[in-house]
Amino acid sequence: MKRSFAILLSFCFLYAGEFIFNGKFEDSLKHWNTYAHGETYTITTDKIYEEDPDSEVYVGRLDKRETAIYQTCYIPGLDLNFSFKVKLYAKSYDTLHPHPAISSIILSYLDVDENIQGETRIFRYAESLYWYPSPVLHLIEISDTNWFNYTLNIADELSNLPGVNPIDIKKLRVTLYTRSYGC
């Protein structure tokens, strides 16, 4: 009963410089926090995942539960572009009893005390999705399984979240997240 999901990612957060520390993963996972349960997960950086000289990070798992790396940063304002290159992959290898799997980049919009005010989730999933959009949750489904570049303006993105007061947003948390709901 093997499920697999992976995030292969290299990104950069731009606004007169980078606000994500080690966003190109050149220094392994320094400045990133990890969150994982169980034993069948992988979080690693390498230069072999994509044909460029930069490092990428791989976040994956082969059983139920979740795995993530994340970083929280202060932002000087909301007119910021979040740019990244990503390859999202989610698949259930259990052909008799397929279970949901998801691979996602989650942008959490935080107040000064790091309370989540809203989120944008850029994702790919297999089988079923248990997430639903709301005034504080914007979902962006990615169907492409190849490497692609994506840019998101934070101020523009907050307009998709009517339940979030932009004045309250003082920090961002970037999370690379994988989860399987099977067993």
> In what helix (H) or strand (E) does residue 72 lie, and over which residues does it extend?
strand 65-74
Give the pTM: 0.77
CATH 2.60.120 fits 3-180, yes or no: yes
22-25 long-range Cβ contacts below 8 angstroms, 24+ apart = 24/54, 24/55, 25/54, 25/55, 25/56, 25/57
Domain positions in the chain: 3-180
| d(C-alpha 39, C-alpha 1), whole Å | 15
Quick check: helix, strand or coil at residue 15? Answer: coil
Q: Report the C-alpha gap between 126 and 147 in whole angstroms.
A: 18
pLDDT at residue 104, rounded to an integer: 85
Q: 3-class DSSP state for residue 156?
A: helix
Q: Is the dihedral of CA 132, 137, 138, 139 positive or negative?
A: negative
**Confidence check: pLDDT of 146 > 60:** yes
Check: CB of residue 20 under 8 Å from CB of residue 27: no
Quick one: pLDDT at residue 106?
92
Residue 115 CA from chain centroid, whole number: 18
Q: Please give the Cα distance from 98 to 10 (Å, whole number).
A: 29
Q: At residue 170, what is the residue type?
A: K
Q: What is the pLDDT of residues 11-58, one digit of tens each?
A: 333 333 455 544 444 545 556 777 766 665 566 655 545 555 565 566
